[in-house]
Structure formats: C-alpha cells, structure tokens
Chain A
Amino acid sequence: MLALEISNLHKTYANGLQALKGIDLTVEQGDFFALLGPNGAGKSTCIGIISSLVNKTSGNVEVFGHSLDRELIKVKSLLGSVPQEFNFNVFEPVNEIVTNQGGFYGIPAKVARKRTEFYLKELGLWPHRNVQARQLSGGMKRRLMIARALIHKPRLMILDEPTAGVDIELRRSMWDFMDEINRNGTTIILTTHYLEEAERMCRNIAIIDEGSIIKNTSMKTLLKSLNSETFVLYLKNIISEAPELSGFGKTLMVDEHTIEVEVPESLSLNDLIQQLDTQGLIVNRMRNKSNRLEELFITLTSKAEKLS
C-alpha cells in the first residue's frame, strides 16, 4: 500500500513563483524516504501541501488512499509533521505544548498526559517539562517538535530538517530514535541538508530541484550510479607535484603530503595504492573527500541548473 501518492502537483504562489511544476511522487508504506533538494527547490512547499498548510494550485495528493481534497480530516489524522521553523508558543511550558497537541487531535487529557510523559522521556526532555519552551536550546526545541508530532501516533511522519542545528552526538541519538519509530511501522519522509543522514537512514530517495523531481529511486540504485569517488590520501613522503596515475581521474596535489584522487568505478583502491607503491609513495591515511550522496547530489542538481 502507498503511504503517499502525489500526482501532477503544481503550486504557483501569488507573486507568480512557480514552486512546483507538476511533480509525481510515491512513498511506500513503512518506507524511510528522503526528499532532498537545494534551498528553494520546492521541498517545503511540497511538505506544506501534504500537511495542508499550503494551498495547492492543482494536482492530487493521497495519504494511505485518502484524498487530501475529499477527506482532509482523515488525512490530517494520519499525518505527523515536524516543520523546519519552530512553530510553538515559546511562552508555554513544554509539557503543555505536547499535551495540547493531543487535545487538538481529540485525545482525552489523561491519555495525552501519559503519552506526553513517554515521548518527553524518550527524547530526554522530561526534566524540562515545566519550563517555558523559549528556555530550551535549539536541539531541545527540535526534539520538542518531534514529541509533539508523535502524540497522536501518526502513520506517516514528515520530518523537515529535524536535526538542523543539532550537535553530532544528539543527532546520532535522534537517528536511533527515528529509526525505531520507522521500525515500529511509521512511514517517514525526511528532508535534510545532512546527506550523510539521508544515506544512513533512508531506503528510497527523491531529489527535487526547481520545482521538479529530477531523481526518484532507491538509495542503493542511486549510489550505484556514482561513476567515481574522490579520495584524499595523506602520504608519508614529501612530494613536489601530483603523481601520474594511469586510468584514474583528476589527481591534485593539495600540499606536500596530501593528494586528491578521483577513483573511477572500474578501478579499486588496491589499484591506486599499488600504483602509488610502484612510485615509492606510502599512504599513511585516507578518507572520502565528501559523502557519496553529496557528490551525486551536487552532480544532479548542477546538471539540472545547467539544463534550465
């Protein structure tokens, strides 16, 4: 069953900006789906339409087979949304924000309070339950929005950059938490600028740019399509110029101990080290220059920019 089905979705704002140019998108039930795109690509508009915060110009949206146009209340009850911007009353206490959201979904106060306690504990906010939300750190505010979005146990969660501004340790614990929610059956759509996050968490991916979907496939297939990867190698020797390597792509000297080599899919790292070894160069350490998905993302979105 499809958790989300979008067909021919258009959005033109009052100022004439065409944010979505007829996108089609499907997300399977139980999926952990990445919706990526550069700033202003149309991600938030798309999410806004699904969450009914933005009025679409035309097109269809269905959530678990229920039409956004005909069964809005039903669609809303199935959705949980964590927006990019903080959208709670900063003067309200943390537990009240979560419990009230339960009330908006028609959950009796007693049940809402129990769930609030559960999610605030899960997300490490329980000790702060009585403080005004404005006193929370940025990371805590993000977790508060996640707790609030889970209060009615949604079947489809939309997370719009949930880990923005969160330190790496906390980000990892949030990944574990999101992973657990997904394992428990909630379909998740994630937008993020941390591509490592998308690569680690998501099984399927769509890349949106300038209001159009330019890639919609599984993460594995997408990563397979990467023709080459750039590695940074730290050499024991001192070099005065980049070594000549046969069959490899661009090779750059970064400094007298460091080079960057583009390794095509057809060659292995063993081949690279072997060639360096024959030239008397010893590799001390090495790393990817950037995340694999990041390389693809830049390639795809810059291609789309050139085409437009």
Chain B
Amino acid sequence: MSAGNYWIAFQTIVRKEILRFSRIWMQTLIPPVVMVALYFIIFGNLIGQRIGEMDGMNYIDFIMPGLVMMSIITNSYANVVSSFYSAKHSYYIEEMLIAPIPNIVILLGYVTGGVVRGLCVGIAVTIVSLIFTDFYIDNPFTVLIVAFLTAFLFSLAGLINAVYANSYDHIAIIPTFVLTPLTYLGGIFYSIKLLPEFWQQASLINPVLYMVNSFRFGFRGVSDIDLSLAIGVILFFILVLFSICMILLHRGTGIKH
C-alpha cells in the first residue's frame, strides 16, 4: 500500500461521512440553525436590548461569535460520536478494521467528517446571524483557524466518547453533562471580567473559554484571553486527545475483542 492508496482510503471515509450527515440534513443541519436563531431572538433581541453593551459592543454582537462556536463544537462532536458509535454498534466498523488502512487514516477520516459538519453548521449559523447583526469580521484568518482547530478538537473528543460508549445513552451523557455546561460557562453570553476574581480564575480551567474568546477576537477584535495563549491551549488539547485516540485505536479498545 502506497501513500496514494492511503489517500484514496482517506477520501473514501470522508466522502462516506459527508454523505451520511448530508443525507439526513433534516436531523443534522437544520436543528442547530433553528436553535441558534432562537438564541438570537431571545437573548440577542429581546433580553439583549435590556442588557445594553458588553465589552463595548451591542449584546447581540457580543454573543454572536460564541453562538457560532457553540454550533461548531456540538456538531463536530455529535457527528463523530454518533457515526463512529453506529459503525461500532452495527459492526460495519469492521469494513475498515479488516482493510489495510493505518489507524491514523481512519482517525483523520472520521475527524475530517466531523470538522466538515461543524464548519457547515458554523457557516449556516453565521448566515442566519446576518438577519440579526451586521456582518463584520475583524480578522478572518483567526476566525478560520480557530473554527477549524475547535472542530478538530471536538471531533477527537467525540471519537473517544464513541470508543467507550456501550449504548446510545452513553453517547448522550457527555454532551449533556459535560459539553453543554462547559460551553455555557465558556463566556458565550458574558465577559469573564463581570465575574468575581475567584470565578474569573476558575473560568480559566475551562478550555471552551479559550475557543470562544479567540473566536470572538477574530470576529470583533476583543477578547478576555490573549490570542496566542488561546491557540496554544487548543493545540495542547488537540495533541493530548489525538494521542489518546491513536492509543485507543491501536489497542482496539471498544472495537476489538
């Protein structure tokens, strides 16, 4: 098997993943857009007008990057966790396990599928946000790189969840009890400067804070966190989760007997 063969295998996995979520677009692409539109209406328009400004901008402009980021996080995670778990649960993961594909190609294939879904939803949500806010990106490159890295990171996390899951309940536990609180407490709806000193410091252990703030920096040019530190934290978590994924695939945890 040459690099060319591996490239074909990678493309096959990615195509399969994209087809999977696009075939069920009513379940995968529309709901997050509807949900974020509701956030804009309720928190942005109705409540936001009473809140006034935050970090020198309208509240709706302040929360917009965070809401896009939240969609990217939940959708990249959901794509990989549900796809990989379904493949494991229905045994068709074996199609890949018996084929001469290195584990890294399987991993990158699934993660790319998650990244593509996360970015598709992110773009759709950004388009919807134009109904409520003016389109303005301070630093497009930062927006792109942070969106990509965050989708990559949460796709890896989704794969780890899928490896350990033994039922469909297990793939809902982490998003409900870990991901959602981290996202909501990650500075989407408020600046951590509003918090007491202790909670400001406590917030710094939440990795989502770095993603939301660096993303907001890309869109609006303001952030509670230094950009290079934020990117560094994201890269660090990617490195850690990537290594865990490779070890799990190598051992065959959850997928081999």
User: A residues within 8 Å of B by Cβ?
Assistant: 13, 48, 51-55, 72-74, 76-77, 79, 81, 83, 85-90, 100-101, 103-109, 148
Contact with A along B76-115 (1 / 0, CB 8 A): 0000000000110011101111111110000000000000
Chain B residues with CB under 8 A of A76: 98-100
Q: Does B170 contact A (CB under 8 A)?
A: no
Whether B94 lies near A104 (C-beta < 8 A) is: no
Whether B252 lies near A104 (C-beta < 8 A) is: no
Whether A106 lies near B100 (C-beta < 8 A) is: yes
Residue of A nearest to B96 (CB): A104
Q: Please classify the interface of chain A as helix (H, G, I), strand (E, B), loop, or mixed, using the class held by over half of its residues.
A: loop
> How many contacts A-B (CB < 8 Å)?
79
CA A86 to CA B92, docked complex, whole Å: 8
Whether A104 lies near B257 (C-beta < 8 A) is: no
Q: How far apart are A50's CB and chain B's nearest CB, in angstroms?
A: 10
Chain A residues with CB under 8 A of B92: 87-89
CA A148 to CA B97, docked complex, whole Å: 14
Residue of B nearest to A76 (CB): B100
The 10 closest A-B CB pairs, nearest first, are: A106-B5, A103-B12, A104-B99, A87-B91, A76-B100, A77-B100, A73-B100, A87-B94, A54-B257, A106-B8
Chain B residues with CB under 8 A of A109: 8
Q: How far apart are B55's CB and chain A's nearest CB, in angstroms?
A: 46
CA A73 to CA B3, docked complex, whole Å: 13
A76-B98, A87-B92, A101-B95 as given contacts; A108 in contact with B256, CB under 8 Å: no
CA A73 to CA B99, docked complex, whole Å: 8
CA A74 to CA B91, docked complex, whole Å: 23
Select which of B12, B86, B91, B98 is within 8 A of A100 by beta carbon.
Answer: B12
A73-B102, A104-B12, A106-B9 as given contacts; A54 in contact with B256, CB under 8 Å: yes
Whether B9 lies near A89 (C-beta < 8 A) is: no
CA A88 to CA B87, docked complex, whole Å: 8
A76-B99, A106-B4, A106-B6 as given contacts; A83 in contact with B94, CB under 8 Å: yes
Whether A53 lies near B99 (C-beta < 8 A) is: no
